[in-house]
Amino acid sequence: MSELFYKHHVFFCTNKRADGRQSCEDHGASALRTYAKDLVKEKGLAVAGGVRINSAGCLNRCSEGPACVVYPEGVWYTFVDKEDVEDIVEQHLVKGEVVKRLLIDKD
């Protein structure tokens, strides 16, 4: 089996629904995704074998969002501001610890 290309691959939903239903972009998802990407770069993690931050279309967690998911762990987070994004980057992506307060699936 080949090695993983990224240690953590993070997908941020940046979807904006045209029909008015709740969507992640209503809560500034694109700006916070850019902030996450900048933080990861700043910390020197944006390299092969490191961390990749990507935009995604709807991840089907719309009512629980804004949503992002970290793979390969499959850990789902919500976030509302830069402080939340900083915690996801610092605690999960740097230290490998799940940020329990931001989990979508808390059980």
Which residues would be at the binding site for ligand FES (CB under 6 A)?
13, 15, 23-24, 58-62, 65, 67
Q: Which is nearer to ligand FES, 22 or 48 (CB)?
A: 22
User: Least Å distance between CB 9 and ligand FES?
Assistant: 17
Q: Which is nearer to ligand FES, 59 or 102 (CB)?
A: 59
Q: Which is nearer to ligand FES, 67 or 99 (CB)?
A: 67
Which residues have C-beta within 8 Å of that of residue 63, sequence separation ≥ 6?
22
